[in-house]
Amino acid sequence: MIRHEIRGHTAFLTIDNPPANTWTPESLRVLEKLIGELNDNRDVYAAVITGAGTKFFSAGADLKTFSADKVLARHFIACFGSAFEALMNARFVTVSAINGYAMGGGLECALATDIRIAESHAQMALPEPAVGLLPAGSGTQNLPWLVGEAWAKRIILTNERVDAATAVRIGLVQEVVEKGEGLAKATEIAERVATLSPRAVEYCKSLIHNARNGIPRRAGLSLERERFMDLFDHSDQQEGVAAFLEKRKPEWKND
């Protein structure tokens, strides 16, 4: 239900569970395991995630798999949390190509990525309260961080569906492209990542997340300087500077 392949330094993940690319505990465990494997593969610098077909990125949870069963629901939501936290904290840069409806857990998956590209026909929502639930795949935490409290409340507390134009205006996505062009744009972004020092990008991503994770500013600033100096322990730092001075493209070893 999660297809993947690696081309160059980019991993491509496709949510493929027709007809609506819904999540199941099994597919969430597969995603978590896959993120772990990609973390261990130092040749992977970025990952692109999208949905199979042209209508759905992902419609979220398959409610039929737990319905009113509290035990199954606890297992399901634990799988959601583990998978999407793994995605959020991936070593590499993650880009979602939202190629249609991203509802509930589908949108939460996109929220867990670093960069979001939406196709013009995409629709996004967190409608869980409409069925007596709440977005517990990190949705209540990630959405306010990205769009602010007021818009997060409007989307979650009133079940407002957001189109692509609104999403880019409020900062939910970074760019809107025409239908069918999302994967190409996400791939272009991922390939730009591959031109940078992998370890420098890794350090930058973790430092950017410090504010989200509640690290005090003074500690974050101190850690920033420490990570800067840590880069001098790796050959890519010397290669990057040398390539710049010699006016050539760097050849990263990612040691």
Domain positions in the chain are 2-194, 196-246
Q: How confident is the model at residue 224 (pLDDT cuts 50, 70, 90)?
A: very high
pTM equals 0.94
Catalytic positions are: 108, 128
- Secondary structure (DSSP) of the chain: -EEEEEETTEEEEEE--TTTT-B-HHHHHHHHHHHHHHHH-TT--EEEEEESSSSEEE--B-GGGTTT-HHHHHHHHHHHHHHHHHHHT-SSEEEEEE-SEEETHHHHHHHTSSEEEEETT-EEE--GGGGT---TTTHHHHHHHHH-HHHHHHHHHTT--EEHHHHHHHTSSSEEE-TT-HHHHHHHHHHHHTTS-HHHHHHHHHHHHHHHTT--HHHHHHHHHHHHHHGGGSHHHHHHHHHHHTTS-------
Q: What is the pLDDT of residues 91-138, one digit of tens each?
A: 999 999 999 999 999 999 999 999 999 999 999 999 999 999 999 999
Q: What is the pLDDT of residues 154-199, one digit of tens each?
A: 999 999 999 999 999 999 999 999 999 999 999 999 999 999 999 9
Q: How confident is the model at residue 72 (pLDDT cuts 50, 70, 90)?
A: confident
Is the pLDDT at 151 greater than 80, yes or no?
Answer: yes
Assign a CATH topology to domain 196-246. Lyase 2-enoyl-coa Hydratase; Chain  A, domain 2 (1.10.12)
Q: Per the CATH hierarchy, to which homologous superfamily does domain 2-194 belong? A: 2-enoyl-CoA Hydratase; Chain A, domain 1 (3.90.226.10)
Q: How confident is the model at residue 69 (pLDDT cuts 50, 70, 90)?
A: confident
Q: What is the pLDDT of residues 191-222, one digit of tens each?
A: 999 999 999 999 999 999 998 888 999 999 99
pLDDT of residue 67: 67
